[in-house]
A = this chain, B = another copy of it.
C-alpha cells in the first residue's frame, strides 16, 4: 500500500510504497507510530512541525463487517499530547480503496488563512493514487451543510469527503474533522482533540477521495478471511446489543441514558449529580418514539458507513416530519442534554446540527456549556441560551472563542474549579465517582478523558465481558489496562469499537476478528496477540506524551472529584494513585 506525504508549505507531495515497518499495521497503529517517530514532541500543535496523519484501519475497505473506520492522528491542540480520533465513514473505505496506508500532511502555507482542497484519485497509467491541489477559498467561513452539496455537485456523487468547518479555521481546540455519512451529510466526526484546527493550520480545507478505477484490495488467504468475517457477522448478529432490531439498531447509543441514570452515573449539570430528573425525556426510547410519532411509522437506525451491520445511527425529525439532524448519539444527547440540565430533544438536536455545521465535537461542546452555566453565563436548563452560545462559537465572537477553546479553557476564563477534564480533554458521559473503572481509563488514557479508550462500562454497567461492581475500585486498574490495550488493537484494525460487545461475550467472534486479520495479511496472530499488539501502540503514545511533558502527574481526575461526593451514591473518586500509576507501569 501507499504512503502519501503532502507538504503544504510548497504544496509538493510524494507517493511511495509504505515501509515494511507499517506492513501489518493500520489505523491508530499507523497514525501513532508516525506521530511518535516523526513529530517533535514539543512542536506547537498548530505550527509547521506538527503532522496530520490519516490511516484507514487494516480491515477497512474489505468485506469485514462494520469496518469503515478512519484514524486521524496528530499532536493535539487540546491535550498537548498525541491524539488518535476515530470515525466511521465511507471516506475511510475510499482511502483504503485507493491503496493508501497513510496520508501524511506536513508543513503549512507561509500566509495564514489560505486554504486548499486536496483531490485524491486513482491514476490508471501509473497504477497508484494521484494528488491534485485546488483552491478552496469559495468554501471558507461557511456552514458545512451549505458547502457539502456544492462539493458533491462539483466532484460527483461517488466521491467522499473529509474536511474542516469554521471551528478549524478559527484554530479552536474544540474543532473536529468532518466526514460525509451515507446520505452525503456532514455528520461523521473525528471529533475529539482539536484535529480540525491542525488540518486548517496546514491550509487544508477538504480532502476529496474518488477511488474510481482503483483495483480491489489483495487478500492473502481469502478462505481464512471469509471464515473470520462470517464468525464476526454471526457474533454481531446474535448479540442482544448489536443484532438487527436489537438495542443499538432500535434505540441507538442513547439507549444508555436510562441505564446510566439508573446507575447514578449520568453526569448532570456539570458533573454535580449522577442522576438527571429529565433523563427519560431524552433517552433512546424517547428518541425512537419521537421519530415514530413524527414519521408515522417505526424507523430503525442506519449505518455510518457501507457494510455496517450494527446500524446504530438515527435521524431526528422536526415536528412536521422533516429531517432535523443525524444523529443523536448517547454522548451528544448527554453532553448537550443532561450535563446542561436540558431535557428537550428538539433543543439537543438543534445543538447537534450546529455542531455539525461548524465542526465542533459535541462532547466538548456540551461540557463547555456546562462549565459556562456553572460560571453563571447562562442558567442550567436554558436550551435556547445554549443554542445561542453555539452560534457565537460559529461566528468567532470573543465569547465564541472562549467556548471554542474547550471546557478547561472556558473554566480558566471564568475561574471555575469544577471542570471535568483530564489532560485538557473533557470527560464523556460516565461519572468516575459512580463508575470507578472508567475513571481510571479517563485518568490514564494517552488521549485525555476518553470513554472509547478503554470502555470498562461493558463489565461495570452492562454485564458484558464480566460483571463488576461499578462503585468498587478493586481490580479496576488491570481491567482498564486490558480494555485500553484491546481497544488500541481494534482501533488499529478498523472495526467499530461496538464489535467489542459481541466478541467479549461470544468467543468465536473474538477468534473471527483475529482470523480476518490473518486472512487479509497472511499473519499468524493468536487471540493472545491482540493485547500484545495493542500494548505496543499504547507504549508509543505514552512515550510521545512523556517527551511532550505529560507524565504520571497528569494521569489524575480533577481535584474536585477527590473531595466532592457525588449524589446519589455520595462517593468521591477513591482510586489510589498507585493503582492509577500501575496502569502504564505494568503495561
Contacts and interface: CB of A to CB of B under 8 A. Distances in A.
A283 interface: no
Given A77-B412, A405-B412, 20 more contacts: A42-B559, A44-B560, A48-B563, A49-B559, A49-B563, A77-B415, A171-B415, A171-B416, A201-B415, A397-B398, A398-B398, A398-B402, A401-B402, A401-B414, A402-B402, A402-B413, A404-B413, A549-B551, A549-B553, A551-B551
Given A398-B399, A553-B41, A170 B412 contact: no
Given A44-B558, A398-B399, A412 B173 contact: yes
Given A399-B398, A413-B402, A548 B553 contact: yes
B553 A171 contact: no
A433 interface: no
A363 interface: no
A409 interface: yes
Tell me the number of copies of this protein: 2
Given A549-B553, A553-B548, A172 B46 contact: no
A41 B577 CA distance: 13
B560 A415 contact: no
A46 B171 contact: no
A43 B559 contact: yes
A521 interface: no
A466 interface: no
Interface string A166-202: 0000111100000000000000000000000100010
B559 A44 contact: yes
A289 B109 CA distance: 47
Contacts of A559: 40, 42-44, 47, 49
Contact of A46 (B201, B417, B558): B417
A384 to B, nearest CB: 19
Interface in A373-419: 397-399, 401-402, 404-405, 409, 412-417
A436 interface: no
A128 interface: no
A559 B49 CA distance: 9
By secondary structure, the A interface counts as: loop
B402 A171 contact: no
Interface of A: 40-44, 46-49, 77, 170-173, 197, 201, 397-399, 401-402, 404-405, 409, 412-417, 546-551, 553-554, 556, 558-560, 563
Nearest to A197: B415
Nearest to A401: B413
Contacts of A44: 417, 558-560
Query: Shortest 8 CB-CB distances between A and B: which pairs?
Result: A171-B415, A549-B553, A398-B398, A398-B399, A47-B417, A401-B413, A44-B417, A44-B559
Contacts of A42: 553, 556, 559
A412 B414 contact: no
7 contacts: A47-B559, A171-B415, A197-B415, A201-B415, A398-B399, A549-B551, A549-B553
Contacts of A415: 46, 77, 170-172, 197, 201
A141 to B, nearest CB: 15
Contacts of A397: 398
